[in-house]
Amino acid sequence: MKKLLLLFAVSLLVSCNNTAVQKVVSSLSPDAEIVEVEVNTPAGYLSTANGKVDAFDGDPSNLELWDKYIDAHNNKDLEAIREMNADSTQQFGSFKVYDAFGDLVNGVDNHIERLSGWFEAENPQWNTFFSYAMKVDGQIGEWVISGHRLKRTVDGEEKMSVDLADVYIEDGKIGAFYIYTRAVPPPPPAE
């Protein structure tokens, strides 16, 4: 049983993409050999006009920033949202939101004004179900890809959607984001 557990542990460690772990695992064999492996292999890519650009795991602190941003939205804390928005970034210029309906919100003040009206009209509430931080080669900032359920009240009726946010973060601030949405149909009437 001990050998089986050791074999399982070694297999788990070998599957990790970490040079230090590989060195330790290699030293467990009688003829230890240091094996160098590439650390931080690309997790994905971004297709551009110039070809594919590698994307890597990003800074986890960006996930915390996005979670705080969503919390501020749920709490309707416009000042906290304003503080987390970047006035401008090298990647996008002024703060931008590309919404799910093809509209562009340009600038922090415009964003806060639109949120204020939306909060009042529909009382939106977000419930995040996943987030992933990534860094694209050649870009100054990083990205968070995040999915959430959005509940709104429209004309007294509850509406649900599942949204994907593609969020650009530079210097610890939200610089821009794209929103993609899919409506969740209401449940069938009770019989």
Q: Which CATH class is domain 55-184?
A: alpha beta
Domain ranges in the chain? 1-39, 55-184
What are the residues whose beta carbons fall under 8 Å from the beta carbon of 43, sequence distance 6 or more? 55, 56, 57, 134
CB 165 within 8 A of CB 178: yes
Within 16-44, where are the H helices? 19-27
Condensed to tens digits (0 to 9), the pLDDT of residues 96-109 reads 999 999 999 999 99
CB 144 within 8 A of CB 176: no
Q: In tens digits, what is the pLDDT along the chain, a chain of 191 residues?
A: 444 444 444 444 444 445 444 544 555 555 666 666 566 789 899 898 989 999 999 999 999 999 999 999 999 999 999 999 999 999 999 999 999 999 999 999 999 999 999 999 999 999 999 999 999 999 999 999 999 999 999 999 999 999 999 999 999 999 999 999 999 987 788 87
Cα 153 to Cα 110, 119, 120, 129, 135: the distances in Å are 23, 10, 10, 21, 36
Give the 3-state secondary structure percentages of the chain, helix then strand then coil, rounded to 5: 30, 40, 30
